Amino acid sequence: MQVKANRVLVSNLDGTPTEFTDVEVIQGGNGLFVDHEVVIGKDNEGNDLKQKRFTLYPWEKVYLLEWNEPTLIEQVKEFVILTELEDFSELLEELQEELGIEGGEDDEPEPKAAPKSKGQNPYEN
């Protein structure tokens, strides 16, 4: 999921913490990708020289992801709920396969109608 995070706290290789504010992040299987800028010096006029970076932090180095804008909070909540439902659905399918249970509710066969016997309905031949 790609989303703006209002605050991200990660650990560098040497163990020192780094905090990012208002950055774009992508949550991947291996960790958190952070799209950010780093000040690499000053120009002749004293303005910051910035370098764009896209850095992967493994999940064990990510300590905090925080959102404080209502629209971002709702977006993240929806993503988390959908992801959890998908994971649960996959787990349920695996369990059904292991237990030899076929399909879900949609795959159940229709119950067969009882055979008709003459005399039950006076209007049938």
Break the chain into its structural domains and give their ranges.
1-67, 69-100
Tens digit of pLDDT at every position of the chain (125 positions)? 788 999 999 999 999 999 999 999 998 889 999 999 999 999 999 999 999 999 999 999 999 999 998 988 888 888 888 888 988 888 888 888 888 887 655 555 555 655 555 555 555 55
What is the C-alpha separation between 60 and 15, in angstroms, rounded? 12
What length does the chain have?
Answer: 125
φ, ψ at 16 (rounded to 5°): -75, 145
Task: Let me know: does 8 contact 24? Beta carbons within 8 Å.
Answer: no
Which residue type occupies 87? D
Instruction: Classify strands 48-58 and 2-11 as parallel, antiparallel or unpaired.
Output: unpaired
Residue 30 near residue 39, CB atoms below 8 Å: no
* pLDDT for 84: 87
Whether the CA torsion 56, 13, 5, 84 is positive or negative: it is positive
